[in-house]
Chains A and B, each alone.
Chain A
């Protein structure tokens, strides 16, 4: 049954055959019927023509009034046997106007009256009727071999008359016609069969081509899907490995870093001024390098933890988060005489800690990369209904970003400025990782000397990659 459901070709074929079978059967029945009645009509006409003609030559209206008996019967019966009964005509009966049997090949019923016989009455009303019977009379079993009998009832109308004087009943064999019907039926079926095969062949070729195309497309799609899934699995594995690597590397680096950093600081404290000036300078470089290394490793650790220590997304009130962040940055804000304004911020599905981190990094950058004017930072959020997401913007009036750097700033450890001032370069990479973990995108628009606006999106429903 499965092949029936899946294979279009099989389905089509089955439907075709069933339909054709139904049509064939229906047509056969209908045709048979019509062929039959045509045949019957012509047979009946033929029978009537022969028998009536001959009988009217020997009968008179007077004969139809009295049942035949004795010598009269014998003569008439011989006549009938000789000139009317044949391989086509089995026997006849003659009925008087009142329903009395005037003549029959069975003498016993002569004189009997059957005035209410249906066919008789119809014939009397000048309507020729035909009744088809399978003969079953004792002593007449042989007639079955000769086929079906049909009984034709026709009115006897004399030449000068207009009224029937009696009814003629002719029992006519049917078989030759049965053969004819069978022949005709075969012919019709054969031609139908050929037509059907041609039609089917044509249709099937079309369907087959379509079916092949569908199959092929499905196969291609399945392959593409598999490739995609494999790629996803490989990427996920690679991602996890990278995160683990970043975490382990930065975590295990802490200890040797601590040794270097602490002892060099100890050296500095203990021996400052006791060694020569060069030594002091050398020590200063080491201390500084160690400090920067420590900061970078911590940032790397934080970056790797965005994925691994992320919490489940919950509804978070951005306004509250922002207020807390501003509070924790109060000193820097005051020192730099910053003005921070915000539009009403929504509640979104997020990891609260990470969102705070994101806000903090963006604001810290705005302060750090300020121009000579006091920094003005404006934060807003817009609902983008079509894409089902919130669009946040952090606009500042800082020094701006050069066009060639705009794409690079979100990379890890990318520096726009020389050396060690102003940040290690992971802050924006962390921002991007956080935004992407929430299922959004982050980008920046900026003009040198005018300021920068950082945009990021947060989807309204959970669409993140955990």
Chain B
């Protein structure tokens, strides 16, 4: 009997308010054909509700990776980052900040708040697709995630 490796699909939470960028990110992930489930929320308040499995998100899965834009309505991405990384339950989830800003202060503050990495969205599509691929490869294949992630080997 061979070992059956059942890999549950990776859950990615994308926090992004620009629908154009949302679609682009989804398409880029599709190009790479890694099986995953992506949930999308459009602002910081929804993001926290999702992560805390509150209200309409009571059945929401715990994401293995969060991709976070900094400029969000209702609650700013920087605040969301801060809340995630200070929450004892949520802080283990890797947060990839994916944003248009190149500002030095943003980069510094983001790392100060313990983001796992900071990526500036490129203008070129090819570049973007490559970046998304490397995010997936690195965070979901190369690194070891903590055991409460959904990725399990049975």
Chain A positions within 8 Å of B, measured between CB atoms, are 254-255, 257-259, 261-263, 265-266, 269, 291, 294
Q: How many A-B residue pairs have CB under 8 A?
A: 32
Residues in A whose Cβ lies below 8 Å from that of B20? 259, 262-263
New A-B contacts (13) at CB < 8 Å, excluding given A261-B124, A266-B24: A254-B100, A255-B18, A258-B21, A258-B123, A262-B20, A262-B24, A262-B123, A262-B124, A263-B20, A266-B125, A269-B125, A291-B124, A294-B123
Chain B nearest Cβ from A302, distance in angstroms: 12
Given the complex of chains A and B, what is the CA–CA distance between A261 and B121 in angstroms? 13
Across the interface, which residues of A come within 8 angstroms of B124, CB to CB?
A: 261-262, 265, 291, 294
Interface residues as binary, B118-129 with A (CB distance below 8 Å gives 1, 0 otherwise): 000101111010
- In the assembled complex, the Cα of A71 lies from the Cα of B139 at a distance in Å of 159
Interface assignment of B79: CB less than 8 Å from any CB of chain A: no
Minimum Cβ distance to chain A for residue B124 (Å): 7
CB-CB under 8 A from B123, the residues of chain A are 254, 257-258, 261-262, 294
Give Cα distance in the complex from A80 to B74, angstroms. Answer: 135
From residue A305, how far is it (CB to closest CB) to chain B in Å?
Answer: 11
Least CB separation from A265: chain B residue? B125
Interface residues of chain A: helix, strand, loop or mixed (majority): helix
Supply 11 A–B pairs (Cβ within 8 Å), ascending by A: A254-B123, A255-B100, A258-B21, A259-B20, A261-B123, A261-B124, A262-B24, A262-B123, A263-B125, A265-B124, A265-B125
Most buried by B among A257, A262, A265: A262
Q: Mark B16-30, 1 if CB is under 8 A from A, else 0.
A: 001011001001000
Instruction: Chain A residues near B18: list those with CB within 8 A.
Output: 255
Closest A residue by C-beta to B124: A261
- What per-residue 1/0 map shows which CB atoms of B63-92 lie under 8 Å from chain A? 000000000000000000000000000000
B122 to chain A minimum Cβ distance, whole angstroms, is 8
Q: Interface on B for A, CB 8 Å cutoff? A: 18, 20-21, 24, 27, 100, 121, 123-126, 128
* Complexed CA–CA distance, A262 and B22 (Å): 12
Contacts of B24 in A (CB 8 A): 262-263, 266
Q: Which 6 A-B pairs have the closest CB atoms?
A: A265-B125, A262-B125, A259-B20, A258-B123, A294-B123, A262-B24
Residues in B neighbouring A258, C-beta threshold 8 A: 21, 100, 121, 123
Distance in angstroms between the alpha carbons of A397 and B121 in the assembled complex = 40
Residues of A within 8 A of B21 (CB): 258
Instruction: List residues of chain B with CB within 8 A of the CB of A265.
Output: 124-126
Q: How far is the CA of A257 from the CA of B100 in the complex (A)?
A: 12
- Complex CA gap A269/B129 in Å reads 12
| A residues less than 8 Å from B121 (CB atoms) | 258
With the chains together, A259 CA to B22 CA distance in Å?
Answer: 11
In angstroms, Cα B99 to Cα A255, docked, is 11
Bound-complex Cα distance A393 to B125 (A): 40
Closest to A297 in B: B123
Q: How far is the CA of A262 from the CA of B127 in the complex (A)?
A: 10
When distances are taken between beta carbons in the complex, the residues of chain B under 8 Å from A261 are 123-125
Residues on A with beta carbons closer than 8 Å to the beta carbon of B100: 254-255, 258
CA distance A254 to B124 in the complex (A): 11
CA distance A269 to B121 in the complex (A): 19
A263 to B24, CA, bound (A): 8
Determine the chain B residues whose CB is within 8 A of the CB of A294 once the complex forms: 123-124
Q: How far is the CA of A331 from the CA of B99 in the complex (A)?
A: 31
- Shortest CB-to-CB span from B69 to chain A, Å, is 11
Complex: A80 Cα to B89 Cα, angstroms:
146
Residues on the A chain within 8 Å of B27, using CB: 266
CA distance A386 to B77 in the complex (A): 57
The CA of A111 and the CA of B149, in the complex, are separated in Å by 153
- What distance in Å separates the Cβ of A299 from its nearest Cβ neighbour in chain B? 13
> Chain A: which residue is nearest B122 at the CB level?
A258
Min C-beta distance of A431 to chain B, whole Å:
23
Nearest chain B CB to A149 CB, angstrom units: 106
**Bound CA–CA A338/B27 (angstroms):** 43
Residue of A nearest to B18 (CB): A255
The chain B residue sitting closest to A294, CB to CB, is B123
For the complex, give the distance between the alpha carbons of A221 and B124 in Å: 58
User: Closest Cβ of chain A: how far from B115's Cβ, in Å?
Assistant: 21
List the B side residues contacting A262 at CB < 8 Å: 20, 24, 123-125, 128
Q: Which residue of A lies closest to B23 (CB)?
A: A263
Residues of B within 8 A of A257 (CB): 123
Q: Report the separation of the CA atoms of residues A269 and B128 in the bound assembly, to the nearest whole angstrom.
A: 14
Identify which of A255, A258, A259, A266 gathers the most chain B CB atoms within 10 Å of its CB: A258
| Alpha-carbon distance between A266 and B21 when the two chains are bound, in angstroms | 12
Identify the closest chain B residue to A291 (Cβ).
B124
Distance between Cα atoms of A34 and B39 in the complex (Å): 124
A263: chain B residues at CB < 8 Å are 20, 24, 125
In the complex, chain A residues whose CB is within 8 Å of the CB of B125: 261-263, 265-266, 269
- How far does the alpha carbon of A49 sit from the alpha carbon of B89 in the complex, in Å? 141
> CA–CA, A266 to B125, complex, Å?
7
Cα–Cα, bound, A263→B20 (Å) = 9
The docked-state distance in angstroms from the alpha carbon of A266 to that of B25 is 11
Considering the chains assembled together, what is the distance between the CA atoms of A258 and B124 in angstroms?
A: 7
> In the complex, which residues of chain B have a beta carbon less than 8 angstroms from the beta carbon of A291?
124
Cα(A291)–Cα(B18), bound, Å: 21
Bound state CA distance, A93 and B97, in angstroms?
Answer: 133
Complex contacts, A254 vs chain B, CB 8 Å = 100, 123
User: In the complex, A59 Cα to B20 Cα: how many Å?
Assistant: 150
Q: In the complex, what distance in Å separates the CA atom of A265 from the CA atom of B127?
A: 11
A264 CB, min distance to chain B CBs, angstroms: 8
